[in-house]
Structure 1
Amino acid sequence: MVIGVTKQWVWISLPLLGGVIGTYLDNLETERMTMFRDKSALYGRKLKPGEAPSW
């Protein structure tokens, strides 16, 4: 390969990069879903003053 990068480094770095990108996207989705916390028609309810969210 070019500039001393061997296949070994490619096979090591690609899964690590995929893990970092996957974790980032998962955190974005978790932040987005917090907008809907305790608002489900089936499970939602009014929270008492000072009560923490259910999750």
Structure 2
Amino acid sequence: MAPQRRTLKEYVLGPDRPPSMERFNTAVNDLADKAVAERAEDLVAPVAHIAQHEPVA
């Protein structure tokens, strides 16, 4: 039953490589990068909206 246990282990816990801590760190960093990008969009969007409606002098 070893092959079935390995298959189940990989299904439940994910692959052995890269190590789980490396996968976790990558996921956290990707999420942080996404949050920074979304926050930057939130800060730029109101300025862009205002700039579209103000007359150019």
Scaled by the length of structure 2, the TM-score of the pair is 0.52
List gaps (5 residues or longer) in structure 1: 38-55
Considering fraction of residues, name the structure with more helix: 2
Q: Which has the larger radius of gyration?
A: 2
Alignment-derived partner of residue 27 in structure 1: 40
Query: Which blocks of at least 5 consecutive residues in structure 2 are unaligned?
Result: 1-14, 52-57
Segments ≥4 residues shifted beyond 2 Å: none
Computed over aligned residues only, the root mean square deviation of the Cα atoms, in angstroms, reads 2.0
- Identity in percent: 0
Query: Which of structures 1 and 2 has the larger relative contact order (alpha carbons within 8 angstroms, sep 6+)?
Result: 1
For 2:31 and 2:50, locate their aligned partners in 1 and report how far apart those are by CA, in whole Å.
28
TM-score, length basis structure 1 = 0.53
